Structure 1
Amino acid sequence: MTTGGELALRQEYVIGDEIGRGRFGVVRRCYAVATGDPFAVKSTPKSPLREAAEAADALDLALAEQEPKIHLLASSPGPGSSPHVVALHAAFEDDSAVHLVLDLCDGGDLLSLISSHGSSGGLPEQEAAGLMQQIASALASIHRRGVAHRDVKPENLLFDSAGGGVLKLGDFGSAAWFGDGVAMRGLVGTPYYVAPEVVAGRDYGEKVDVWSAGVVLYVMLSGTLPFYGATAGEVFDSVLRANLRFPPRAFASVSPEAKDLIRRMLCRDVSRRFSADQVLRHPWIVNRGGAAAMG
């Protein structure tokens, strides 16, 4: 990581307009001084993270400080890399902030695409299968490198260009390394998408990402959430019960093959839950949402 913070950043990049905002940081468009190539820069001030750490625990600050290393491990080129992971190109840090220079993904996020269908329900199966193939490709790649994302949701799945560009997994602010048998712990993620073993407070592995991706697939096909409640506590209770249903009104036109994949991803028994590689090999994915014999 480059030291020198914002001063060093501005020597190498021209900072442009704001294009996104998260819990603690802001994302702006930027351009490399040397080439003019466009990127995005995510800037996270450390002061609110320190305040959060003092008020509760140090998890947010710790995650922010390790994000560049984890993201670089997840996205660097090489064997097994995926074009569906937002790449980290440079990082700058000083006492006040962390700045990450990333792929520019200005085609909107998956949530916007799902929302655009409104009352018409979910996405066509062929489109949903193509998108899930890209998500599973990203997860299989980072899992092979010992990285779990831990916050897979439509808002963190970004299109690199308008009009249905390449879908990429972004925001590694909650990611963790699980290589060499390191167990992960901690209630990290978004209530509607978090896996039961995370809510239960147990050690967990990378298959938490497959569960979250299963929720994303359910939402893509139906426009509804599988587990919900009026409060975060009620949502967590629903997740722990893991009572998966396919309401006829929302799933009337969804194929048995698609439902089969959802069941295998939203399986409470982690030993039986699919891995990302198994998702990629499922007939519904292989046949891009077309009918296929189930084995």
Structure 2
Amino acid sequence: MSDGLKSDYQLCEEIGRGRFGVVYRCSSAVSSDSFACKSIDKRLLADATDRQCLDKEPKILQILSNHPNILQIYKVYEDQNHLHIITDLCDSPDLYQRLTTATFSELDAASIFHPLISALAYCHRMGVAHRDVKLDNILFDSRNNLKLADFGSAEWFGNEGRRTMRGVVGTPYYVAPEVLAGREYTEKVDVWSAGVILYIMLAGVPPFYGETAKETFEAVLRGNLRFPTRIFRSMSPEVKDLLRKMICKDVSRRLSAEQVLRHPWIIHGGETRSLTDLT
């Protein structure tokens, strides 16, 4: 363990485990405040791409450090075998865990979705695409504040020139069709993924799925969005309008994150309103 880490923080119990390392609860030696320490074993990195992702995540989090709904990074320590990243402690159930018990009403979904879209809009203003927005990466701290996390697949596309990106990254249920098709794409891939999250929060199932990853990818590529009557009967026209405009295969017609923030369903906090204002 890094000498600096040992002198600055007291490591406590393990609270999570991933492909490359372990997350511990830790406390500051100065303030006794609680944080999370993500300890990554560099010996488990398979190739240069893994190492590049590892190096990139702390740098991107530092760029995004001013938004209250993005996981904050406080310190990075490195020794011969490990990289240790001190972040916000998010010890409440994540969004995936919360959805294992029940779906959300429109009002409850909106209370979570607004800060998520606010975080994504900020990322895009700062020239960063997350590229792996999914339920598991939406965390909550002890005060129930939403924190968008896991920027290991994120890409800097620049806030000038708006360059496009390439590369198949993401998670089957959530990934946008233009990513799977191998085309160049923009930060709007995050809007598609966020739309899928909203759909799952309301319906309890993803809009596109199959028995295998291949079948799921094929369903995503078809992009045939449906609203089964037995599930969506009681849901407002406004939320279905928003979902159509986010989970939209035509990227030129898909809303940006900033446009999502201005949609009536978001503005009214999930309350039902007349569709006459929708554009």
| TM superposition score category, shorter chain reference | over 0.9
1:110 is aligned, of 81, 85, 95, to 95
CA distance in 2, matches of 1:111, 1:145: 27
CA distance in 1, matches of 2:233, 2:163: 42
Q: Which residue of structure 2 lines up, in the alignment, with residue 169 of structure 1?
A: 148
* 2:114 partner SS: helix
Shift of 1:278: 1.0
* 2:26 partner SS: strand
2:182 is aligned, of 184, 197, 201, to 201
Shift of 1:176: 1.2
Note if contact 1:149-1:172 (Cα within 8 Å) is conserved in structure 2: yes
1:242 is aligned, of 204, 211, 223, to 223
- 1:218 maps to a residue whose letter is Y
- Structure 2: state its 5+ residue gaps: none
2:239 is aligned, of 249, 255, 258, to 258
- 2:204 maps to a residue whose letter is G
Going from structure 1 to structure 2, the CA distance change for 1:230 and 1:6 (only over 3 Å counts) comes to farther
CA distance in 2, matches of 1:154, 1:176: 19
Shift of 1:129: 0.9
**Aligned pair 1:64/2:54, yes or no?**
yes
TM-score by length of 2: 0.94
CA distance in 2, matches of 1:207, 1:200: 15
CA distance in 1, matches of 2:274, 2:232: 20
Shift of 1:29: 0.5
- 2:250 maps to a residue whose letter is D
Residues 31-71 of structure 1 show CA distances to partners (whole Å, capped at 9, x for unaligned) of: 1111111110111111111xx22xxxx32221112111111
Q: Which residue of structure 2 lines up, in the alignment, with residue 37 of structure 1?
A: 33
CA distance in 2, matches of 1:9, 1:192: 38
Q: Which residue of structure 2 lines up, in the alignment, with residue 23 of structure 1?
A: 19
Note if contact 1:191-1:232 (Cα within 8 Å) is conserved in structure 2: yes
Q: Would you tell me which structure has more helix in proportion to its own residues?
A: 1
Note if contact 1:25-1:42 (Cα within 8 Å) is conserved in structure 2: yes
CA distance in 2, matches of 1:271, 1:239: 17
Residues 92-149 of structure 1 show CA distances to partners (whole Å, capped at 9, x for unaligned) of: 12332221110111111011111111xxxx2111000111101001101111111111
Note if contact 1:224-1:250 (Cα within 8 Å) is conserved in structure 2: no
How does 1:81-120 map onto structure 2 within 5 Å? Answer: 82-117=67-102
Residues 218-255 of structure 1 show CA distances to partners (whole Å, capped at 9, x for unaligned) of: 00000011111121111111111111011112212211
- 1:86 maps to a residue whose letter is L
- Give 4+ residue runs of structure 1 displaced > 4 Å after superposition: none
* 1:101 partner SS: strand
Q: Which residue of structure 2 lines up, in the alignment, with residue 153 of structure 1?
A: 134
Shift of 1:184: 1.8
Residues 140-167 of structure 1 show CA distances to partners (whole Å, capped at 9, x for unaligned) of: 11111111111111111011126xx111
CA distance in 2, matches of 1:184, 1:16: 40
Q: Which residue of structure 2 lines up, in the alignment, with residue 219 of structure 1?
A: 200
Residues 18-38 of structure 1 show CA distances to partners (whole Å, capped at 9, x for unaligned) of: 111122221110111111111
* 1:143 partner SS: helix
TM-score by length of 1: 0.89
Q: Which residue of structure 2 lines up, in the alignment, with residue 139 of structure 1?
A: 120
Residues 72-107 of structure 1 show CA distances to partners (whole Å, capped at 9, x for unaligned) of: 112x22xxxx21111111111233222111011111
Shift of 1:289: 0.9
Note if contact 1:228-1:238 (Cα within 8 Å) is conserved in structure 2: yes
- 2:10 maps to a residue whose letter is V
* 2:2 partner SS: helix
* 1:198 partner SS: helix
* 2:185 partner SS: coil
- 1:289 maps to a residue whose letter is G
Q: Percent identity?
A: 54
Q: Which residue of structure 1 lines up, in the alignment, with residue 264 of structure 2?
A: 283
**Aligned pair 1:231/2:215, yes or no?**
no
CA distance in 1, matches of 2:164, 2:82: 29
CA distance in 1, matches of 2:206, 2:69: 24
